[in-house]
Amino acid sequence: METGEDLNQDFQPSSESSGITIHLDAFQGPLDLLLHLIKKEEIDIWNIPIAHITEQYLEYLQTMKDLNINLAGEWLMMAATLIYIKSRMLVPQEQSAEAQPEEEDPRTELVYQLLEHQKFKNAAEMLYTREEVENAIWNKPPADVLEEGQDVVAVTLFDLLRAFHEVVQRFEAQRVMEVAQEEVTIEQKIVDIRTLFLVHDKILFSSFFSEARSKRHLIVIFLALLELVRLHEVWLYQKKAFEEIQICKVKETA
């Protein structure tokens, strides 16, 4: 039981022991390391000195373990593959040498895997360059360009209802005297909101209701707002989920 735990500890260094666990495999895998070694040592891919490369590979693996880098299973798989190839190359082939003179080199499969990987790395480079170029080009700015470089989250109906619920609660908490019930219609409110947006580009959802004097009034404003959303005259967004909802005028297509 104890030894089993020790072994686990070895393969998955606990983050408590040294503080940080680095997840290297988010960026590169064992094939990338092998390609790196081959390029660094200017090795002929068709004649890989497997013992040497295996040794180097295991050294890197040890360093990564020392650095508490979390190694995914494929790193150990590759280590096993390398050791297997190495052992097969050590087996004397005398007895089969004459019968099967063309016995396949145990390295071949790995070589093709490396070439294939390099091929797609090159294709990825090409995509990278293309993306770079595309980043220097603008189309008509989409209507949702608001504040520079900021991602915004579309508001769901539930966010909206929650926000409205908060508004109603706040209203009830500080209940102002209900002055003579003036009848406000949704149509009227829509006109009011449109006027507001002539001056403002965006308004905070919660501040929208400050002038309301009755619960009915609140609901009318809310419905007017929904109608304007439906008509694509305004749209609602938040910088992050659960953040304050902003109401923004939809800019007319220039």
Partner 1 sequence: MQAVMEAIIYVADDPVKAEQFKEVFPEEGLDEIEEALKNLVDSFNARPGGMMIREVAGGYRMTTRPEHHERIRAYLKTRPNAKLSMAALETLAVIAYKQPVTLAEVLAIRGKKSSTALQTLLERKLVAILGRKQVVGRPILYGTSREFLIHFGLRNLSDLPTLEEFAQMAGEQL
Contact residues toward partner 1 (CB under 8 A) are 25-31, 35, 38-39, 45, 72, 74, 78, 113-128, 130-140, 142, 148-149, 253
Q: Give 69 or 160: the residue with its C-beta nearer to partner 1.
A: 69
Q: Give 21 or 206: the residue with its C-beta nearer to partner 1.
A: 21
Q: How far is the CB of 229 from partner 1 (least distance, A)?
A: 19
| 69 Cβ contact list (under 8 Å, min separation 6) | 21, 22, 23, 24
Confirm if 206 and 244 have CB atoms less than 8 A apart.
yes
Q: Give 83 or 168: the residue with its C-beta nearer to partner 1.
A: 83
Please state, in angstroms and rounded to a whole number, the distance separating the CA atoms of residues 98 and 75.
37
Q: How far is the CB of 198 from partner 1 (least distance, A)?
A: 24
Q: Give 33 or 236: the residue with its C-beta nearer to partner 1.
A: 33
Confirm if 73 and 25 have CB atoms less than 8 A apart.
no
The two structure tokens encoding residue 209: 């209701």
Please state, in angstroms and rounded to a whole number, the distance separating the CA atoms of residues 144 and 202.
12
Q: Give 125 or 187: the residue with its C-beta nearer to partner 1.
A: 125
Q: Give 99 or 254: the residue with its C-beta nearer to partner 1.
A: 254
| Residue for token pair 């619920």 | 165
Burial string for 43-68 (b: 16+ CB within 10 Å, else e) reads eebeebebeebbebbeeebeebeeee
Q: How far is the CB of 26 from partner 1 (least distance, A)?
A: 6
How many beta carbons lie within 10 A of that of residue 205, not counting itself?
Answer: 22
Q: How far is the CB of 91 from partner 1 (least distance, A)?
A: 26
Among residues 246, 253, 252, which one has the least CA distance to residue 154?
Answer: 246
